[in-house]
Amino acid sequence: MTHPRRQEGVTPEPVARKINLFVKPGPSWTVGHVERELPPGGVPAYLAARGSGARSFVLWADEYRGARVATVVTASCAKGVSVYQVLGAQGELLCTVVREKAFRRGLRTRWTVSRPGAPDAVGYKGRIVWWCVWWLFSPLLPFLFVAAVLGGGDLPRGPGRIIWREGGRVPLEFKAHGNQVHLEEAFLDPRSGRPIPDALPVSGRPASRRPPAGRPGPQPSGASSRSSSG
C-alpha cells in the first residue's frame, strides 16, 4: 500500500486529520492521526473500489508516521455487505465491523461491531422518524443542492446518527454532526488508552497520536472521540 502525497525522495507532508479524545470532565487530547491507505493503482483505484464499499485506513501514532497504531482493511465486499477488520500494530484483530446496506435487513443501514470475547454491538443509521422527514422532503432536494452550491453551504445529507446497542446497554454512538463517536470504557484499548473502534468507517473518513508525555491513560466510564483536520 502507498500513502497520499508520498513520493520517492520527497519528505511527505504531515498527516492533517486527527482524533481527539474527550473525557468528561476534563480537557481533550490527540490520540492519533489517520489517512487513507492507497492501493497500488493510487487514487483512481481507491475511488473505484470505494464505490463497492471498500475502505482502507491507517492510524499513526504521530503526524509524521513514526509508528503504525492500527489499520482498517476490507475483508470482503459483496451484495450490499461490507466486512472491515481493525488490526492492531502487530496485526492482531481488535474488532470486526460489518456494514449491511439499507433494505437488506431492514429500512436502514445496519452496522455491527464485533470484538473478540465480547457480545456484538448493533446499530442502525438514522432514526426512522427522521428518515420519514427526509423522504417527505426528498422532492425538494435538487433545489437544496443548488442552493447549497451557489451559497457555499453544506450539501444536504440524510440522517447519520448511529446508536449501537449491546443487550440493554449503549456502548457506542456516532454523531454525524461534528463527526463524533461516544463510547464506554470497555471500548478503550487497555494497552494504550486509545478507542478501539476509532477507525469505524461510518463517515468514510476516520483518524489517531500518543497521549502527551506524562498524561495518564483515560480511566472513564465514558468518553468521546472526534475526528478533525489540523
What mean pLDDT do residues 83-90 have?
Answer: 90
Give 94's Cβ-side CA count (13 Å radius).
Answer: 26
pLDDT given for residue 188 in this prediction: 66
Q: Give the three cell numbers for residue 83.
A: 466486512
Q: Quote the pTM value.
A: 0.75
Q: State which of 21-25, 131-135, 148-152 shows the largest mean pLDDT.
A: 131-135
187 vs 35 pLDDT, higher one: 35
| Amino acid code (one letter) for 211 | P
What are 91-101's pLDDT values in tens digits?
999 889 999 99
pLDDT given for residue 187 in this prediction: 72
Q: Which of 90, 203, 221 is nearest to 157 (CA)?
A: 203
Contacts 24+ apart (CB under 8 A), 104-112: 104/80, 107/131, 111/162, 111/164, 111/200, 111/202
Q: What are the phi and psi torsion angles at 49 (to 5°)?
A: -70, -35
Plot region of 42 (φ>0 → left; ψ -120 to 50 → alpha; else → beta): left
What are 65-82's pLDDT values in tens digits?
888 988 999 999 998 899
pLDDT given for residue 195 in this prediction: 61
pLDDT given for residue 96 in this prediction: 92
Q: Which of 99, 44, 111, 36 is nearest to 72 (CA)?
A: 36
Mean pLDDT value across the chain: 76
User: Per residue, what are the HEC states of 142-165?
Assistant: HHHHHHHHHHCCCCCCCCCCEEEE
- 3-state class of 222 per DSSP? strand
pLDDT given for residue 194 in this prediction: 61
What are 179-217's pLDDT values in tens digits?
777 777 667 665 555 666 555 555 444 433 233 333 333
| Amino acid code (one letter) for 58 | V
Q: Which of 84, 53, 62 is nearest to 71 (CA)?
A: 84
Other Cβ atoms closer than 10 A to 205: 15
Other Cβ atoms closer than 10 A to 214: 5
